């Protein structure tokens, strides 16, 4: 895998949202990993037509299996989908994706110049690049990015503060999200907070703030979590049961089939059901609430191998339980399930090329889903906008139909 740096810029439309969407698109691409990304900076237009808007700029570091030429073609395709029209040099644009560095490759052809021409003279490139790769060396001028930026430092290039809040669909609501210290759970917690909810997070280890540590493989810990969270919030409105056993990475990847099954049944199935029944009954008695569980899109169709059998059994149980619980808690509380497809969590970040190819092959959109995609579905299901939705399985899987 090669290490490359990509510069992002925008000075048309919703610049901040455009850059965020571009970074998400890069993260979703099979065979490509975004390993670092800078803050977003604002700068004056350079060599642009009079009256051009200020630019927002950022830089990402990636690991890729593509050649420089293939990577550049891919970047141009993302630009085109964002509405970029290539006309006059330095004209205003919705999105600019520049291949700045690709390992230490030096190339100068009509189709590709590496390193990117004039990058060592552009403060709006050097500022974000120096933030994430100060020790990287320009392979032509033979100076580090730190040195180049210190010689070019421009006070007019300043960090840009994005919107304080993306919306208010969950304004004033209290939420508990289990398994919310990483991956999909962390993305859901962030999305709920951005939408105005007050969130209690959960994980196995202690953390500061509105966080409760509990080992959900133990029934008594499930009961303690339910009681402590309900008391802390004074009763809450939203419950996302995302906690699950990780049997794909770390030491658990080497467990026997029976050990993995025991862990999945204890956490993914029994803990989810225990918490949902306890807290769902409290919501029903209180007269309001919404619960979201997490299933799996292949639980209904099957997948070969031990992992398919294990997760298929556990997640199919939760999907069936969700439908029945929704009937039990209606009309006071709603219960729905999200069934993710190929979502790029910790395992997906390091999956082999064979699995990367499988994602491309099995997903009509041809890319990984991201935890944020699941989070957006969870926000909608938890919000008043989904008030007539209960007992449903919502697939977040890029259109895969098996």
- For residue 367, what is the domain's CATH number? 3.40.50.720
- Both 245 and 151 in one domain: the answer is no
pLDDT tens column, 236-278: 999 999 999 999 988 999 999 999 999 999 999 999 999 999 9
Overall domain count for the chain: 2
Q: Could you say which of 98, 268, 297, 373 is catalytic? A: 98
How confident is residue 155, by pLDDT bands cut at 50, 70 and 90?
A: confident
- Both 124 and 179 in one domain: the answer is no
For residue 25, indicate whether it is catalytic.
no
For residue 360, indicate whether it is catalytic.
no
- Both 239 and 315 in one domain: the answer is yes
Decide if 15 is inside a domain: yes
Q: Could you say which of 93, 122, 334, 395 is catalytic? A: 93
- Both 33 and 81 in one domain: the answer is yes
Report the percentage of the chain scoring pLDDT > 70.
Answer: 97
pLDDT tens column, 158-176: 888 775 445 688 988 999 9
For residue 84, indicate whether it is catalytic.
yes
- Both 145 and 64 in one domain: the answer is yes
Q: Could you say which of 25, 27, 66, 96 is catalytic? A: 96
Domain end, chosen from 134, 159, 184, is at 159
- Both 320 and 348 in one domain: the answer is yes
Decide if 401 is inside a domain: no
- Both 151 and 204 in one domain: the answer is no
Q: Does pLDDT of 5 surpass 90?
A: yes
Q: Which of the pair, 397 or 86, is modelled with greater confidence?
A: 397
Q: Could you say which of 27, 84, 122, 334 is catalytic? A: 84
- Both 141 and 181 in one domain: the answer is no
- Both 215 and 277 in one domain: the answer is yes
- Both 333 and 189 in one domain: the answer is yes
Report the percentage of the chain scoring pLDDT > 90.
Answer: 83
Whether this prediction's pTM lies above 0.85 is answered by: no
- Both 124 and 228 in one domain: the answer is no
Domain end, chosen from 125, 159, 193, is at 159
Decide if 167 is inside a domain: no
Decide if 323 is inside a domain: yes
CATH number at residue 55: 3.30.70.560
For residue 96, indicate whether it is catalytic.
yes
The range of the structural domain enclosing residue 256 comes to 174-396
Q: Which of the pair, 49 or 250, is modelled with greater confidence?
A: 250
Decide if 144 is inside a domain: yes
- Both 43 and 147 in one domain: the answer is yes
Q: Please write down the HEC assignment for all residues of the chain.
A: CEEEEEEEEECCCCHHHHHHHHHHHHHHCCCEEEEEECCCEEECCCCCCCCCCCEEEEEEEEEECCCHHHHHHHHHHHHHHCCCCCCCCCCCCCCEEEEEEECCCCEECCCCEECCCCHHHCHHHHHHHHHHCCCCECCCCCCEHHHHHHHHCCCCCEECCCCCCCCCCCCCCEEEEECCCCHHHHHHHHHHHHCCCEEEEEECCCCCCCEEECCCCCHHHHHHHHHHHHHHHCCCCEEEECCCCCCCCHHHHHCCHHHHHHHHHHHHHHHHHHHHHHHHHHHHHHCCEEEEEECCHHHCCCCCHHHHHHHHHHHHHHHHHHHHHHHHHCCCEEEEEEEECCECCHHHHCCCHHHHHHHHHHCCCCCCECHHHHHHHHHHHHCHHHCCCCCCEEEECCCCCC
């Amino acid at each position: 895998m090669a290490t490359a740096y990509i510069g992002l810029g925008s000075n048309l439309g919703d610049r901040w949202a455009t850059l965020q969407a571009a970074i998400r698109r890069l993260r979703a691409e099979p065979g490509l990993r975004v390993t670092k990304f800078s803050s977003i900076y604002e700068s004056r237009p350079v060599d642009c037509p009079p009256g051009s808007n200020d630019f927002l700029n950022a830089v990402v570091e990636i690991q890729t299996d593509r050649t420089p030429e293939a990577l550049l073609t891919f970047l141009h395709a993302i630009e085109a989908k964002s509405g970029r029209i290539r006309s006059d040099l330095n004209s205003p644009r919705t999105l600019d994706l520049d291949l700045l560095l690709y390992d230490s490759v030096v190339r100068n052809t009509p189709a590709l110049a590496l390193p990117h021409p004039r990058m060592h003279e552009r403060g709006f490139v050097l500022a974000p690049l120096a933030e994430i790769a100060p020790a990287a060396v320009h392979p032509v001028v033979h100076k580090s990015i730190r040195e180049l930026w210190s010689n070019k430092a421009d006070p007019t290039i300043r960090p840009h503060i994005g919107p304080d809040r993306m919306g208010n669909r969950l304004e004033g609501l209290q939420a508990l999200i289990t398994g919310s210290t990483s991956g999909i759970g962390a993305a859901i917690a962030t999305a709920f907070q951005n939408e105005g909810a007050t969130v209690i997070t959960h994980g196995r280890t202690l953390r500061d703030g509105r966080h409760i540590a509990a080992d959900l493989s133990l029934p008594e810990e499930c009961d303690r979590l339910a009681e402590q969270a309900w008391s802390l919030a004074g009763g809450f409105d939203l419950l996302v049961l995302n906690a699950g056993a990780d049997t794909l990475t770390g030491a658990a990847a080497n467990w026997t089939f029976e050990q993995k099954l025991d862990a999945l049944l204890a956490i993914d199935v029994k803990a989810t059901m225990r918490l949902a029944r306890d807290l769902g009954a409290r919501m029903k008695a209180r007269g309001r609430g919404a619960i979201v569980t997490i299933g799996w899109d292949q639980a209904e169709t099957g997948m070969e191998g031990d992992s398919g059998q294990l997760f298929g059994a556990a997640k199919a149980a939760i999907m069936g339980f969700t439908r029945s619980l929704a009937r039990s808690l209606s009309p006071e509380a709603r219960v729905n399930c999200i069934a993710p497809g190929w979502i790029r969590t910790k395992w997906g970040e390091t999956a082999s090329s064979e699995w990367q190819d499988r994602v491309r092959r099995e997903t009509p959109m041809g890319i990984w889903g991201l935890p944020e995609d699941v989070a957006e579905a969870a926000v909608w299901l938890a919000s008043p906008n989904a008030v007539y939705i209960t007992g449903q399985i919502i697939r977040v899987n890029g259109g895969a139909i098996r």
